[in-house]
Structure 1
Amino acid sequence: MCRKVFSVLLNFFVVIISAEWNSNDYMKREHSLIKPYQGKGMMVPYWDFQGITLVTPNYVRVTPDRQSQSGSLWNSIPCNVLAWELHVNFKIHGHGKDLFGDGMAIWYTKDRMVQGPVFGNMDYFHGLAIFIDTYSNHNGEHNHQHPYISAMINNGTLHYDHDRDGTHTSLAGCEVKLRNVYYDTHLTIRYEKDTLTVLTDVDNKGEWKDCFKTSGVKLPTGYYWGVSAATGELSDNHDILSMRLYELDSSDVDVVSAEDRSKIIPSAEKFEAPREHVEDPKPAWSGTKTFFVMLFVFLLIIAIAIAGISWYRDQQEHAKKRFY
């Protein structure tokens, strides 16, 4: 009996200690987007919307499943958290079965609410971008399939090469099968001790899977959170169900806080400078196309020959008439 009581008390104190240890891992409401979205009228506290973005009771539709659309939502308060974890609950779905796109991006950047060509946001940005590229007919030559999650760190001088799916400036990435599933999909972005980690939960198993983890990433404080999406000739619905930002109780906060993180330039140790843009080789003709082209040329030669023979005969007949 004494052992049972001791065990219960021990478990109780473990729970208390654990709760105390995790007391600083709490959600930052001013940087989170959760239901109910609306505040007073059509306004959403701490968030601004741009483009085609539509707020509904159950989700925020950044773009609808229509061609040539773009939209975005942006947190209105700069984030000064040193160590954080962002949980994003989203859905990407549409009518396309083989062709669809383009995708969406999650941003932590210096500038906000600036429309542009990079998934509806500006190019040459300062900060971090997490791209969820769903464009089914991928550009250029690379060794992965789509959908594909990747990260990019930019100091304002780098161009996101859409014609190459950003592979020349990608920090890391992973393939994911997240489109047109009947359940919710989740993404976690974690930044702690200058290490960027991305995890996914897209299999409806309630388990986080590593997408990538890379160290030596320097991100300043005071930047803004945002989400943007865009469609082109191909389209999809891009929906955000929730975004929750947690401040982490990181052991390196005291060390980092000694440095003015608002003044640093975004950088990554493993980042590679963008390579020269090289055009893709023109695709070779298929056997069927070659056959029809040769058949057309053959028939054209025959037609020219018949026309030439007819003209020659007409000339001969005309000459005979003049002779008589």
Structure 2
Amino acid sequence: MHITSQSLRSIAWAALAISTARAQYVIDNLSFGQKLGGYISPDLRSVPHFDVKGIDDYVPQILSDRVILTPPYPGSKRGAIWAQEAMHHSGAWTASVDFRASGMERGAGNLQIWYVKESQAHETPASLYTVSKFDGLVLVIDQYEGRGGSVRGFLNDGTIDMAAQHDPDTLAFGKCDYAYRNRGELTPIKLHHAEGFLEVIIDGATCFKTDKIKLPEGYYFGISASSAENPDSFEIHRFIVSTSNTNTRDEPNRNRYANADQHQQQQNLASQKGHEQQTHKNQQQQNYGSSTSQSDIPKMLEDVLAGNIRSQQDQFADLHNRIQIINNRVFEIAELVERIHKDNADRWNELMHRVVPIDDRGAATIRNVEKVERTTMQILRDLESKDFKDMMNQIHRALENNQEGVMRSLPTVMGAVVSSHGPSMTTFFFIAVAVQIMITGAYIVYKKRKGGAPKKYL
């Protein structure tokens, strides 16, 4: 098959046209975490263009790359993050959320993604089961009906009181099952809205899709989470709203955001300059009074809330002391590890010196032992493989034959022994005569002694 250069140019122009048509433009004032590295907070206190809030003196924790709406401990906490600006895009748009849910084996909680009117936005964080009336869309992610996980979509025009419903889950217009807890990785979920349809995509697969919903512009995005007594921790790492339309209604706001960003940069530069001056001052103090500063470094600091440290100098001092404490502890751990490694090396060398190498005699002994083992194994195999029934029968017949032979030859042998070794008749005659002579002599001696004995007369 031959492809001409003209065909190649046509294919290239078609691919460029398709990529241009499908290009997505991120709306910065409705997104966070879209920058390189995933940084969402410059000062760990706020998220630009978003409001972060909680209830009952609880404030969600803001880190450099995530927002922890509900903590892993304790439970029964609620947190939310709301966009400060409305969505002013009439064309196709996509809202993408990367979150993580983790907790104990039977932990519980729920996560809501909102797109509602301004009257419901920025309110106290609530879930589907506690909110009364709202106008807009909400996606609920929880363990509905005891399953591993469920994603459900709800719509309301402001007339339905969700909190008063006996079973609000029956009002869902779309749902799917998805195990989102303790996955060990981020879970991406997308809400794609275009002319004529609304699609929810989770982890790259379509959860549900409908062509009967059209969301109006001018609504606000928000994410809320609540945990149960056995809590689930919900972390939001990215929230990105993108559109394929470059001409948007928020163009007039860009100058305001640019001025705000410029003002923020000026504040950051001033803060950095003050930080450098404070660092230079501390270095000078260390150079002129190192002997006293070493003794002033605390060994341990108590935990304090970030809100209790007001001034920048106190913040820097607290951070400086804690970094020095961590540095000292790391140095001590490094020394301990090095000492343990040295002790193990010394013990290994001592053990190797005590081991006597095997000489030729030892090798010969080992060979003899191996030979005995092989012979023993051969005997065992022979004993296990052979049948000794015939051999036992032969031994039994041999014993019977030996017994019969002994019984036949025993009288003859005994007669021969008696005849060859027994006494003769002459011997018996002389023995009888000698016995008679001895008896007669003994009687004569008795009579003589009796006759010669003195007599007594009465």
TM-score by length of 1: 0.65
Percent sequence identity over aligned pairs: 24
Alignment pair present for 1:74 and 2:73: no
Alignment pair present for 1:114 and 2:123: yes
**Alignment partner, residue 56 of structure 1:** 63
| Secondary structure of 1:16 counterpart | helix
Letter in 2 for 1:72: A
Query: 1: CA distance between counterparts of 2:183 and 2:93?
Result: 28
Pairs within 5 Å for 1:118-129: 118=127, 122-129=131-138
For residues 6-32 of structure 1, what are the alpha-carbon distances to aligned partners after superposition, in whole Å with 9 as ceiling and x for unaligned? 565444323322233234x32211111
Distance 1:242 1:162, change over 3 A: farther
Letter in 2 for 1:58: D
Pairs within 5 Å for 1:5-20: 5-6=5-6, 8-20=8-20
Letter in 2 for 1:26: Y
Question: For structure 1, which segment, 154-163 or 228-237, has the greater mean C-alpha deviation from structure 2 after superposition?
Answer: 154-163
For residues 73-99 of structure 1, what are the alpha-carbon distances to aligned partners after superposition, in whole Å with 9 as ceiling and x for unaligned? 0010000112211111111111x21x2
Select the residue among 171, 178, 186 that pairs with 1:184.
186
Shift of 1:162: 9.1
**Alignment partner, residue 285 of structure 1:** none
Distance 1:40 1:177, change over 3 A: closer
Query: 2: CA distance between counterparts of 1:133 and 1:123?
Result: 19
Query: 2: CA distance between counterparts of 1:196 and 1:223?
Result: 16
Instruction: Answer whether contact 1:198 1:213 (CA < 8 A) is retained.
Output: yes
Distance 1:19 1:116, change over 3 A: closer
**Alignment partner, residue 110 of structure 2:** 103
Alignment pair present for 1:244 and 2:253: no
**Alignment partner, residue 289 of structure 1:** none
Query: 2: CA distance between counterparts of 1:188 and 1:162?
Result: 29
Query: 2: CA distance between counterparts of 1:41 and 1:88?
Result: 20
Query: 2: CA distance between counterparts of 1:129 and 1:123?
Result: 13
Instruction: Answer whether contact 2:78 2:126 (CA < 8 A) is retained.
Output: no
Query: 2: CA distance between counterparts of 1:74 and 1:188?
Result: 17
Shift of 1:215: 2.1
Distance 1:154 1:180, change over 3 A: same
Select the residue among 185, 196, 207 that pairs with 1:211.
207
Runs of 5+ in structure 1 lacking a partner? 139-144, 202-207, 254-324
Pairs within 5 Å for 1:222-233: 222-233=218-229
Distance 1:229 1:163, change over 3 A: farther
Query: 1: CA distance between counterparts of 2:60 and 2:131?
Result: 17
Distance 1:213 1:230, change over 3 A: same
**Alignment partner, residue 288 of structure 2:** none
Shift of 1:176: 0.3
Question: For structure 1, which segment, 120-129 or 149-158, has the greater mean C-alpha deviation from structure 2 after superposition?
Answer: 120-129
**Alignment partner, residue 319 of structure 1:** none
**Alignment partner, residue 270 of structure 2:** none
Pairs within 5 Å for 1:83-98: 83-94=92-103, 96-97=104-105
Identify the structure with the greater strand proportion: 1
| Secondary structure of 2:221 counterpart | strand
Shift of 1:184: 1.6
| Secondary structure of 1:88 counterpart | strand
Letter in 1 for 2:232: D
Instruction: Kindly name which structure, 1 or 2, has the bigger radius of gyration based on alpha carbons.
Output: 2
Query: 1: CA distance between counterparts of 2:189 and 2:178?
Result: 11
**Alignment partner, residue 40 of structure 2:** 37
For residues 226-279 of structure 1, what are the alpha-carbon distances to aligned partners after superposition, in whole Å with 9 as ceiling and x for unaligned? 000001222111011101111145xxx9xxxxxxxxxxxxxxxxxxxxxxxxxx
Query: 2: CA distance between counterparts of 1:181 and 1:70?
Result: 22
| Secondary structure of 2:18 counterpart | helix
Instruction: Answer whether contact 2:41 2:48 (CA < 8 A) is retained.
Output: yes
TM-score by length of 2: 0.47
Query: 1: CA distance between counterparts of 2:44 and 2:111?
Result: 27
Distance 1:217 1:233, change over 3 A: same
Pairs within 5 Å for 1:222-301: 222-248=218-244
| Secondary structure of 1:14 counterpart | helix
For residues 62-116 of structure 1, what are the alpha-carbon distances to aligned partners after superposition, in whole Å with 9 as ceiling and x for unaligned? 111231100000010000112211111111111x21x221111000011212125
Q: How many residues align?
A: 234
Distance 1:115 1:41, change over 3 A: closer
**Alignment partner, residue 306 of structure 1:** none
Question: For structure 1, which segment, 38-47 or 81-90, has the greater mean C-alpha deviation from structure 2 after superposition?
Answer: 38-47
Query: 2: CA distance between counterparts of 1:109 and 1:128?
Result: 6
**Alignment partner, residue 157 of structure 1:** 159
| Secondary structure of 1:210 counterpart | strand
Question: For structure 1, which segment, 35-44 or 123-132, has the greater mean C-alpha deviation from structure 2 after superposition?
Answer: 35-44
Shift of 1:198: 0.6
Instruction: Answer whether contact 1:109 1:128 (CA < 8 A) is retained.
Output: yes
The root-mean-square deviation of aligned C-alpha atoms, in Å, is 2.7
